[in-house]
A and B are shown apart, each in its own frame.
Chain A
Amino acid sequence: MTTLITTLDPKSRAASRGWSDTTIRNVFVIPTVLFLIIFNVFPLLYSLAFSFTDFRASSKAAVNFVGFKNYIDVLADPVIWRTFSTTLWYVIVSVTGQFVVGFGLALLLNRPLPFKGLLTTLLMLPMMLSPVVVGLFWKLIYDPSRGILNHALGSGPVARLSDSNLALYAVAITDIWMWSPFVMLLSLAGLSAVPKHLYEAASIDRAGKLYTFFRITLPLVAPILLIAVIFRTMEAFKTFDIAFVMTGQPAAELISSRLYKMAFQQWQTGPSSALAYIILIMVLCITNIYVKYLNKAKER
């Protein structure tokens, strides 16, 4: 690179094409900022305005300002309330499962194993797939007549995705399968950063395996595990694609699916904007807590 620059004739066109800060600002920065304003900031503010009106995207009727009515209606709707509770239960089941499986796999991979690199790569494959593909793939696995799961369990034709008691857990298992590698990856990073001399000191003091795990491993990996858990919690609250593709069971309906139905099937644009803002406030709260603990973990 250096050779190329020094061999250029200073008077040549190529040499004179060096871009100034002003050109870089005009060519790269301003278009990006404009793009963000048009496609992110403007829709955000526009939908905020919609959330205070009775606007329906499917009708040409006059739009009226209704104040906080949409917010009050959304919070008084029993179906939306049930959906929020279902989402919270889904988040608890899914994140707990991901934590247990992911951290377990990380502990397994943190010891000497044959083909460790290949194994780690294979375990990370689900995370790299598209959620819609994963949803369709697991729908086939759960299929009551042709699905491999019923065949493997020998349980007969159990329709897990149409059962109101089982559908949510079936979706959660799919999410656990897909996102455990993420927790595993972060846990592995945390485990590899634990100083070896602490384990040596513990073995000299004849500390047991459980004692070493609870007094050395877990406290030192805890900050990074907490980050993984908060990050997955944030994402699990927003889950849409997997649940939408896999099941139409009302008992397993998550808040994002309800929002989609309100906005694009029932065309309740005003109330659905209000619901979207309620979800935004909730996710902002989780994000703030996440950033707070991320900074604390950095300070350590």
Chain B
Amino acid sequence: MLTTHTTRLARGCGALLGLLAVVAVPLPAPAQTLTAAQIIARAQEAFLGAGDDMRAHLTMRLINKGGKERLREMTMLRTDLEGGDQKYFIYFHRPGDVRDMTFMVWTYRGRDDDRWIFLPAVKMVRRLAADDSRSSFVGSDFTYEDISGRDVEADTHTLRGEAPCDAATCYVVESVPLDGKTEYGRKVSWIDTVSFLPVKEEYYDRRGALARVYTADEIREVDGYPTAVRRTMTDVKRGHRTEVVFDDVAYDTGLDEGLFAERSLRRPPADWIK
């Protein structure tokens, strides 16, 4: 596991190499040939699809206007399938009221995701109805879509240029939903030109007012993949924010796709849920 420092060093080296390339061979850098949609696709891959699979322990702090906090603690498992589909499994450790609750999503490109929830009190597995871009994930500022992705084709993407962001350079991409159902009217993303991780995202409502802001607060390289291990989503209008810490992150763990099934909802895989 590398530190932020090393990532910065790597970025610095990358930038230096880039500079040398520009000085030595005056050709456009390959990244410049990327379209806005390609940048978003690579950002989604870096943000939600790094490695073939992932395991992480998440701590979500839900903080309201008055500073009052609520905590959600969970283990998340993810595996990637061919063609960009993914399967997610989430086990809730805390708070006590949702302990042992499990949640599973099979995401698809181009059609509605399948979602299941297991309610331990009644031992019932049910499909979960949710509005992707609006329904809050467990009361946080993140929507279901923020957790498990949105089809790249669902928006029109425009590259607004490049801008410095933190210690790096970012593509600035504006995305406008094609349908009228999506919560936001416009999203502006700052995407690191090296790691392709979104560093910041601004969601504007349909009247053009800033509604939510996402920031990657700490990016660390884990198993070779840059990972936003601390991230925040702020609801600007309501003064509420959700801070998420990813720890115990591991990629390419060899998770069996068969784990993502009703069996695990009812009886979480002990080896993976620590």
Is B truly associated with A?
no
Please report B residues at the A interface, Cβ cutoff 8 Å: none
